[in-house]
Amino acid sequence: MITYQIESDNETFQIAYNMEKLLASIKGRSYPFEWDELGGGEFHLNSGTCSYHVLLIEHQPNGQLLFQVNGRLHRITVRDERQQLLNKMDFGKSEEEGVIRLDAPMPGKVLQILVKDGTQVRKSDPVVILEAMKMENEIRASCNGRIDKVHCRQGSSVEKHQLLMTILKNNS
């Protein structure tokens, strides 16, 4: 069983799962489940008579997730056992918390890089044009900040979840 601590706006609880047995334990109660990965961060999950459509929208290196379940948005923080221990010891906070990864949401070809190292960006500013399945997709900044480092090159092919650039986040 792999165990995680889940923190949402209104509660903190433990979740554990065993992928071999397709069994999850949430708040101490066991649930059998089946799931299908549909691609692009999209999943279909069945547990008993319940069916869930899950779409991962945003995943940050600090464990924060934004996702939809049957059309309803949820934001949580997921901490594995190591992160929980570091947090208890006050080592969980570091300078790296201000560094945000911008990963490719899909495989494709980098058509154009719209920023360079040091460029100031605002959340939702376009930073990269990625061609995937003969369509041009604008990849946008996920936060306000300054481009720390561009990790891709124009004309290069990238895989899903490949690091495109890092952003030094600021709260302005």
How many Å apart are CA 79 and CA 138, to the nearest integer? 30
Is the backbone of residue 145 left (phi > 0), alpha (psi -120 to 50) or beta?
A: left
| 96-169 CATH, one of 2.102.10.10, 2.40.50.100, 1.20.1560.10, 3.40.50.880 | 2.40.50.100
Does residue 117 carry a pLDDT above 90? Answer: yes
- Structural domain boundaries in the chain: 2-87, 96-169
Q: What is the pLDDT of residues 77-114, one digit of tens each?
A: 887 766 666 555 544 444 344 788 888 888 999 999 99
The pair of three-digit structure tokens given for residue 57, joined into one six-digit string:
């929208």
The residue to which tokens 């990864």 are assigned: 101
Cα–Cα distance between 145 and 89 in angstroms, integer?
A: 29
Domain 2-87: which CATH class?
A: alpha beta
30-71 per-position pLDDT tens digit: 889 898 989 888 989 899 899 999 888 887 777 777 888 888
Residues 26/15, Cβ–Cβ less than 8 Å: yes
Tally the residues of the chain: 172
SS3 37: strand
- For 141-151, the pLDDT digits (tens) are 988 999 999 99
Mean pLDDT, all residues of the chain: 83
